Amino acid sequence: MVTALQGFAVTNLIRGENSFAQSFVQTSQLSAGPNFELQFFNTQNAVLDQLNEQVTEIQNGINTDGATALLKVKIAQLETSGERITDYKNTTDIKAKKIDAAIEYIVELEALATAGDSSAFEERLALLHKTLEKTPSPTYESFGTNDRFRKTKFESLTAIEGFNTNGFSTQQNIDDARAMLTEMKQKLNVSKSLVGINADIAFTKQTSNQSRILEVRSGIFKIETAAQTAATRDINEKQELYSQILTVISLAFDASQEFTNYISQTINFEQKTPAGSIMNLFS
């Protein structure tokens, strides 16, 4: 059976344009281009599918859990410690404000401890009692220094609850009130100074803890970035490899086409049909 390509070559020969061999070469060239393009398209798709599979495999293979496990545990520990430090700082700040308010009440009470109506004094003394009662008194020695407020608070509340102005009917009542207030204020001022030191400690610890968390998180980020960078490098190498493969295939076809052109243009095919050949029927 004669193919379409052979038939085209015979037609050219009948027209007297070329020898059968030369016509066959030329017509082969005409069909080679489309055939290659189809084959190259299919090959390219297959190559790209394989590339995509390998890229997906590389991306899915990124796993930094082992390298970052201990760092993540450290962050959890720091965050737990940070919560305790924050609680300590908040409590210390509240305590400092309450102590300041108590001292202000004492200053007012000292001015009110005079002969005459004691109702204003007793009203302010009740407010002082309420303020001290609501002031938190944990010591948190594990973070700071003992501010001695727990003892001062207990002693002050006991003194207030046991004190009777007797309407400041005598000078001794007034002197007793002032003596109580003076002692209370001295102890509160000591606690105030120590609470201030603890507030500074709390701030320093909080800042240090937050910095440490950022440092550890930075370490995790570097590990994850390094893993991602390595994966990206592998992907780029795969892409470059497959690009080279497709380029080689394309260049091979171009070289084949050039060689065929050279053959068809330089080799002198026999134009004369041998005697007795069936092709003489068409000459």
**Residues 182-236 pLDDT 10s:** 999 999 999 999 999 998 999 999 999 999 999 999 999 998 888 888 878 878 8
Mean pLDDT, range 50-64, rounded to an integer: 74
**242-277 pLDDT tens trace:** 777 878 777 776 676 666 666 656 655 454 555 555
Is the pLDDT at 162 greater than 90, yes or no?
yes
Is the pLDDT at 159 greater than 90, yes or no?
yes
Is the pLDDT at 282 greater than 60, yes or no?
no
> Confidence class of residue 55 from pLDDT cuts 50, 70 and 90?
confident
Buried b / exposed e over 17-37, threshold 16 CB at 10 Å, is: ebbbebbbbbbbeeeeeeebe
Is the pLDDT at 8 greater than 80, yes or no?
no
Q: Is this structure's pTM higher than 0.85? A: no
Residues 6+ apart with CB under 8 A from 159: 180, 183, 184
State both tokens at 2.
């004669």
User: What local confidence, expressed as pLDDT, does residue 257 receive?
Assistant: 64
Is the pLDDT at 281 greater than 70, yes or no?
no
User: What local confidence, expressed as pLDDT, does residue 98 receive?
Assistant: 92
State both tokens at 144.
């700071």
Q: Could you state, in order of their start, the residue ranges of all structural domains in the chain? A: 4-61+252-282, 72-229
User: What local confidence, expressed as pLDDT, does residue 54 receive?
Assistant: 76
Is the pLDDT at 179 greater than 70, yes or no?
yes
* Fold classified for 72-229: Four Helix Bundle (Hemerythrin (Met), subunit A) (1.20.120)
Q: Which of 190, 110, 181 is nearest to 150 (CA)?
A: 190
The DSSP result for 210-252, as a single string, is: HHHHHHHHHHHHHHHHHHHHHHHHHHHHHHHHHHHHHHHHHHH
